[in-house]
Chain A
Amino acid sequence: MGETGRRQEIWEDVWIPSTCGGCYSACAIKVHRVNGVVVGVEGFPESKHGPEGGLCGKGMASIQILYDFNRRNVPLRRTNPKKGLYEEGNWQDISWDQALDEIAERLKKILAEDPRKLLVAASPSPNPAGTVVMQAFGALLGTPNFFFGGAGLHCGSGAHMAAGATHSSWSHCPDWKYGNYIVFFGAGKGFGSGHGAGIMIRQAAEARARGCKTVVFDPICNFSGGKATEWIPLIPGTDGAIALAMTNVILNELNIFDAAYIKTKTNGPYLIRPDMRCLRDSETQKPLVWDIQEGKAKPYDDQTIRDYAILGKYAIEGIDCQPSFQLIRDHVKKYTPEMASEISTVPAKTIRRIATEFANAAQVGSTIVIDGKELPYRPVSAVIFRGGQGHSNSLHTCVAVDRLNQLLGAADVPGGCLGWPPNVMGYPGTGRPVIGPSAGQDGLLVAGQFAFHMPWPLEEPKLPCEMLSLQDLFRLATFSPYPPGEGREELWEKVGIDYRLEMMLSVAGNLPLAVADRDTMADFLLQIPFIVSTDIFPTEFAEGFADIVLPDTCYLETFTIIENVPTFFFSHAPGMDDWHCHIRQPVVPPQYERRYYIDVLTDLADRIGARPQLNTFFNLMARYDEEHQIKIDEKVSWNDVMDRWLKYWFGAEHDLEWFKKNGFITWKKRVEEAYFRPFINTRVPIYLEYMVDQGEKTKELAEGVGIHLNWDQYTPLVDWFPCPPHEADPKYDLYCFSYRDILHTGSSNIGNPLIDEVSHTNPYTYNIVINTDTACRKGLKDGDIIEIESYNGQKVEGPIKTMEGCHPQVIAIAGTAGKWSKGQPIAFGKGVNFDTLLFLDLEHADPTSLNLETSAKVRICKKEGK
């Protein structure tokens, strides 16, 4: 057919501005609609909120969600009482009124009895803000019980706590624009996964093209390792030992550190008593420091201090004290590169060389002028995320890695390690919103905002617990393996929980597939009498355990702004890229009876008389002043909320209609926003004094009720601790871990037929990766089917693919695959389910941050005849 013929048939050809729903990063996109059908998508060339015109593969393919035959289209009610793993369920179509009335009736009863009997749950894909919305909505209804699905447990109890306390941010990342030397510890920044995925791809590609070096510690040479200047294999869970050995080399062998930064931007000068606590002013209780000029101790914020001591020993009123920096410097001496080498298998000379290169590349003392302001210039960063942090030594490891930046002054300055811009000074036309880090208790950094719990100041551990997650006892935890964890009943008895769950409201998330040991999870879910699952596709969770299923809209049918307002905590471009606020809007109306979950929550809130709570939540999100607040009983729709919110922040002319047409608003980022550190007088805890108090109190309370953990991790001096896989029965001879594949967003897009087709062209995605020599020694070759038996007793099987770029003691599996849901025929049986190989209990969690151990020890055998 010629061009003319085509044109005659095309009666509509438009591009709609929106944001991508391929993962939680919500990059700016333009969606192509022809004759009412979505046919394509592009990045947004005029916006830096993404890859500036490009879009990653999973974003590109994600438009196929819209027309997938396997979508949820109508509300459903389970008609057979049998629930469990691998159950399919019998389902009856019901109306929205029937579904919401039934949910409302049960919810009202529970809220009247004891709101804590409600568990809210969410996962960040496909609704990035779903976790925040659900947790806040639940809290306003009166329940402290929230579960974050697999993504939370796996990606960041330690990383978020550490980054919150140091960068006022949900995680940290390199300053790709000005950085020259970047060390990754199990992080995929720039490879299509994690926060700001598209932005990171763009910024990292520019950096590589101009010669920026990247060193990647990772058990496999796949994504970030595959493009690194240098890939360094290690045993999972040993990143912290390497970071501490690098610290030792830098401080004690090279004697390089940024003294000015340590003195003014950290608690390095704080004097530490023999009992490991800060020496404090008797009147104000402020930590004391030693003024070298006057030779006396003063409160840290005394304006007369001319120079802080960070080295030496001082006797103050008979108490021997040392600046915490001196303690740290001495403490890390035991972490010789040789010791770290024995733990990690990385050669000592490599650790020494990388430490030396890193410290020298920091150019301590250098400055750079940006927009007329002279700032410290530290073109190095050490960055950790999902891989390095996913262990039972998570918090210490994250602090050990980030502290490399702090000691060299390479934090939130040009070239250094940055937070997702946490200092927002407002749209110039209105001055809104304003949010940013500040100095709090002891002068330490308080995050401008933080999801789930504030990293500083910390709350007191307490008993009895209110939260089934035990987070009132473990105050350093962003997430927790509980409530579903093993031994929960016994633990809840011990911590004095006198209620049990009666209902679960979940938006996305696929708990039996994507968290850990599926039997433990199933056992937990079976105890909840009534479960509501809101999702786009049928999942193992909904099929096996839900009582009512609600069909969510996909991003192409959705109106929202939460993910892209400048206060959203992980989607904006770090560094000097301008601010952008994009709208997500329906490219086609919601098909069938699908409804956006926030519209559903609004409807539900009205049915249960919770409008005041809902409007309180809306007011909190938009940070309205008193004059603009939504009245608590006002029946506003979600679209009204967005309209008012946008006008409040960006002026009356920039209403929802304006955004629908224009897609986004942009304004210049200020140097103070991109690099807040020199401008805001706060300090970073490089010495974790809080561990002393938290440890003592948590231990006393926990031991008092018979909970025994390795309390050694509550130490203010950062250490490396072995993880359960390091100490497992040697008959399990291999480590097994999962990695984020560049095309996959958790388990949410594995059923996409285009993603599936292309995944088959990748040699590793659907296979178990094993080192070539290791396979040979075990008599295995490519394509052999092996059975993996975990040290937790669970078994999975799948084909192997040998890889030279894989640590010989490790096998790797792309997560999250191995689906068994009958409702997703394309995804069914593809890949291998790694998560079930993990323990889900307190013994396999970080005793401080409760981060779950996400590597396993396994043994493998060939499945004969397969």
Chain B
Amino acid sequence: MRLGMVIDLARCVGCYSCTLACKQGNFLPPSIFWNRVLISERGKYPAVTKLIYPVLCNHCKDAACVRVCPTSATTRREDGIVLIDENKCVGCRYCLIACPYQQRYFYSAKARDRGYHSGQGLTAYEKLGRQVYPLQAGVVMKCTLCADRIDGGLERGLKPGIDREATPICVNACPASARYFGDLDNPYSDVSGLISAKKGYQLHPEFGTDPSVYYLSY
């Protein structure tokens, strides 16, 4: 099994729902994004194309971060999800430099106490997040593909990418249904079907890391 994602750029409208659902669902502190939307343009006036690329950790098959981690904190699971063991991470940030897609963030101890309302304290939402879903400071963090949702869902016999409770938050959140999730190793999965039918591509294949996130062009 190799869990992966397909993002259909014909559907995506660049509304940042993925970014915000991820931030809220994971109680991410200020300045940390596990999901982003990159906006730019290509061409000269008036032959212009606006570019909207939602990006996240690519959960690469041959991940640079896994290779460089000196403490083996970053590993790739059998289902393809690349995870950081926060108890093993020493915060050296080698992975942060090594990731060619710039998808890793260092969560400092200072940032832990900082809320969204500068000087006004933490909101009830922020307090609950820190209490019930604590993120360890002093380590590197990134998208987990909502591994806890997937694992919890599988325990209950649910199917990732099909059952919402076993599917990453950003996939559920997309109002344009631009995100698909499933097993890239299964040729009959939705994601495999879309990649072959619509010529799905990986970002910067020249980096040689074989990402598990594919894009369908518009």
Name the segment of B13-21, B69-77, B91-99, B137-145 touching the other chain: B13-21
Q: Is the CB of A192 within 8 A of B15?
A: yes
* A40-B25, A43-B175, A64-B125 given; 18 more Cβ-contact pairs under 8 Å: A6-B133, A9-B132, A39-B24, A40-B21, A40-B24, A57-B15, A60-B20, A61-B24, A70-B117, A70-B120, A205-B176, A205-B178, A209-B8, A209-B10, A227-B218, A754-B24, A754-B116, A762-B39
Binary interface profile of B, 157-182, with partner A (CB < 8 Å = 1, else 0)? 00000001000000011111110000
Nearest chain A CB to B15's CB is how many angstroms away? 4
Distance, CA A41 to CA B169, complexed state (A)? 10
Q: Are A743 and B15 closer than 8 Å at their CB atoms?
A: yes
Contact with B along A1-26 (1 / 0, CB 8 A): 10100100110000000000000000
- Chain B nearest CB from A353 CB (Å) reads 14
* Binary flags per residue of B33-46, CB closer than 8 Å to A gives 1, else 0: 10011011101111
- Asked if B193 lies at the interface with its beta carbon under 8 angstroms from chain A, I say no
- Which residue of A56, A69, A232 is within 8 Å of B17 (Cβ)? A56
Option from A35, A198, A208, A758 in Cβ contact (under 8 Å) with B175:
A198
Task: State the 9 A-B residue pairs at the shortest beta-carbon distance, nearest first.
Answer: A226-B50, A51-B175, A205-B176, A57-B16, A67-B123, A54-B175, A753-B116, A805-B48, A205-B11
Q: Does B187 contact A (CB under 8 A)?
A: no
User: Which of the 9-residue segments A153-161, A217-225, A444-452 touches chain B?
Assistant: A217-225
> What is the bound-complex CA distance between A3 and B131, given in angstroms?
13
* Interface pair A1/B134, CB less than 8 Å apart: yes
Residue pair A54, B176 in contact (C-beta under 8 Å): yes
Q: How far is the CB of B161 from chain A (nearest CB, A)?
A: 13
Of chain A, the residue at the smallest CB distance from B24 is: A40
Bound: A221/B45 CA distance, A: 10
Contact B134 A39 (CB under 8 A): no
Asked if A69 and B25 make an inter-chain contact with CB atoms under 8 angstroms apart, the answer reads no
Q: How many residues of B contact A (CB 8 A)?
A: 57
The answer to the question of B121 belonging to the interface, with a C-beta cut-off of 8 Å to chain A, is yes
Using known A-B contacts A43-B175, A60-B24, A226-B50, determine if residue A201 contacts B218 with beta carbons closer than 8 Å.
no
Q: Is the CB of B128 within 8 A of A34?
A: yes
B62 within 8 A of A: no
Min CB distance A447 to B, Å, is 30
Mark contacts of A733-762 with chain B using CB atoms, 8 A cut-off: 1 yes-contact digit, 0 otherwise. 000000000110000000001100110011
Inter-chain contact A764/B39, CB cutoff 8 Å: yes
Tell me the bound Cα distance from A395 to B60 in angstroms: 55
Instruction: Kindly report which residue of chain A lies nearest to residue B216, judged by CB atoms.
Output: A209
Q: How far is the CB of A828 from chain B (nearest CB, A)?
A: 12
Give A contacts to B, CB under 8 Å.
1, 3, 6, 9-10, 34-35, 37-43, 45, 50-61, 63-64, 66-70, 190-192, 198, 201-202, 204-206, 208-209, 221-223, 225-227, 231-233, 742-743, 753-754, 757-758, 761-764, 771-773, 803-806, 808, 825-826
**Shortest CB distance A182–B (Å):** 15
Whether A190 contacts B13 by the Cβ 8 Å rule is yes
Q: Could you tell me if A742 and B24 are in contact, using CB atoms closer than 8 angstroms?
A: no
Given contacts A6-B132, A54-B173, A205-B13, contact A226 B24 (CB under 8 A): no
Chain B contacts for A68, CB-based, 8 A: 117, 123
The CA-CA distance from A213 to B125 in the complex, in Å, is: 43
Asked if A51 and B20 make an inter-chain contact with CB atoms under 8 angstroms apart, the answer reads: no
A63 touches which of B30, B125, B176 (Cβ 8 Å) = B125
In the assembled complex, which residues on chain A have CB atoms less than 8 Å from the CB atom of B131?
Answer: 9
Q: Which residues from B are CB-within-8-Å of A773?
A: 45
Q: Can you name 5 A-B residue pairings with CB atoms under 8 Å?
A: A1-B134, A43-B172, A56-B175, A61-B20, A227-B218
Shortest distance in angstroms between B124's beta carbon and chain A's nearest beta carbon? 5
Do A753 and B117 contact each other (CB < 8 Å), given the known contacts A205-B177, A222-B50?
yes
Please determine whether A37 and B175 come into contact, CB atoms closer than 8 angstroms: no
A761 engages B132 (CB within 8 Å): no
Q: In the assembled complex, which residues on chain A have CB atoms less than 8 Å from the CB atom of B16?
A: 57, 742-743, 758
User: In the assembled complex, which residues on chain B have CB atoms less than 8 Å from the CB atom of A205?
Assistant: 10-13, 175-178
Residues of A within 8 A of B59 (CB): none
Q: Known interface pairs A69-B120, A202-B176. Does A758 touch B19 (Cβ–Cβ under 8 Å)?
A: yes
Measured CA separation A4–B174 after assembly (Å): 30
B52 at the A interface (CB under 8 A): yes
- B residues in contact with A51, CB < 8 Å: 174-177
* Chain B: minimal CB distance from A177 (Å): 15
Does B200 have its Cβ within 8 Å of any Cβ on chain A?
A: no
Contact among B8, B48, B132, B177 for A221, CB-based, below 8 A: B48
Q: A347's closest neighbor in chain B, by CB?
A: B46
Q: How far is the CB of B126 from chain A (nearest CB, A)?
A: 8
Which residue on A lies nearest to B47, using beta carbons? A804
Do A201 and B13 touch across chains, with their CB atoms under 8 A apart? yes
For the complex, is B79 an interface residue (Cβ under 8 Å from A)? no
Contacts of B133 in A (CB 8 A): 6
Asked if residues A826 and B117 are in contact (CB atoms below 8 Å), the reply is yes
Question: Which residue of B11, B15, B41, B132 is within 8 Å of A208 (Cβ)?
Answer: B11
> Which chain B residues lie closer than 8 Å to A806 at the CB level?
45
CB distance from B146 to the nearest CB of A (A): 12
Given contacts A742-B13, A763-B40, A804-B43, contact A60 B173 (CB under 8 A): yes
For residue B39, which residues in chain A have a CB less than 8 angstroms away from its CB?
762-764
Alpha-carbon separation in the docked complex, A754 to B116 (Å): 8
Q: Tell me whether B100 is interfacial, beta carbon within 8 Å.
A: no
Given known A-B contacts A60-B17, A208-B11, A209-B8, A54 and B172 have beta carbons under 8 A apart:
yes
Separation of A66 and B134 alpha carbons in the complex (Å): 21
Establish whether residues A192 and B43, one from each chain, have CB atoms under 8 Å apart when the complex forms: no
CA–CA, A50 and B37, complex, Å: 22
Q: Cα distance A198–B37 when bound, in Å?
A: 19
In the complex, how many angstroms separate the beta carbon of A736 from the nearest chain B beta carbon? 18
- Mark interface residues in B76-118 (1 if CB within 8 Å of A CB, else 0): 0000000000000000000000000000000000000000111
- B113 CB, nearest partner CB in chain A, Å: 16
Known: A35-B132, A64-B125. A226 touches B14 (CB 8 A): yes
B185 contacts A by Cβ under 8 Å: no
CB-based contact A805/B50 at 8 Å: yes
- Min CB distance, B166 to chain A, in Å? 14
Asked if A223 and B164 sit within 8 Å, CB to CB, the answer is: no
Would B13 and A805 count as touching, CB distance under 8 A?
A: no
Which A residues lie within 8 Å of B153 (CB)? none
How many Å lie between the Cα of A509 and that of B11 in the bound state? 33
Considering the chains assembled together, what is the distance between the CA atoms of A194 and B20 in angstroms?
A: 21
Is the beta-carbon distance between A208 and B14 smaller than 8 angstroms?
no
Assembly CA distance A43 to B40 (angstroms): 28
In the complex, A192→B30 CA distance in Å?
A: 24
Contact present for A55 and B132 (CB under 8 Å) = no
Residues of A with C-beta under 8 A to B52: 226-227
> Closest Cβ of chain B: how far from A481's Cβ, in Å?
32
Beta-carbon contact of A55 and B45 below 8 Å: no
CB B149 to nearest CB in A, in angstroms, measures 12
A38 to B24, CA, bound (A): 10
Report which residue of B24, B52, B133, B178 has the largest number of chain A beta carbons within 10 angstroms of its beta carbon: B24
Of the candidates B43, B50, B148, B164, the one having the most CB atoms from chain A within 10 angstroms of its own CB is: B50
Q: Of the candidates B17, B31, B46, B178, which one forms a contact with A55 in the assembled complex, judged by CB atoms under 8 Å apart?
A: B17
Chain A residues with CB under 8 Å of B132's CB are: 6, 9-10, 34-35
What's the least CB distance linking A429 to chain B, in Å?
30
Judge whether A39 and B125 touch: CB under 8 Å. yes
* Chain A residues, Cβ within 8 Å of B44: 804
Which chain A residues border B218 with CB–CB below 8 Å? 208, 227
Contact A201 B123 (CB under 8 A): no
Identify the closest chain B residue to A772 (Cβ): B45
Cα–Cα, bound, A202→B11 (Å): 9
Closest Cβ of chain A: how far from B25's Cβ, in Å? 6
Choose among B19, B173, B218 the residue with the greatest number of A CB atoms under 10 Å from its CB.
B173
- A67 and B124: CB pair below 8 A? yes
CB-CB under 8 A from A226, the residues of chain B are: 14, 50, 52
User: Whole-angstrom distance between the alpha carbons of A402 and B46 in the complex?
Assistant: 26
Give Cα distance in the complex from A712 to B216, angstroms.
Answer: 51
User: In the complex the two chains form, is B41's CB within 8 Å of A805's CB?
Assistant: yes
Residues of chain A within 8 A of B12, CB atoms compared: 205
CA of A287 to CA of B54, assembled, Å: 58
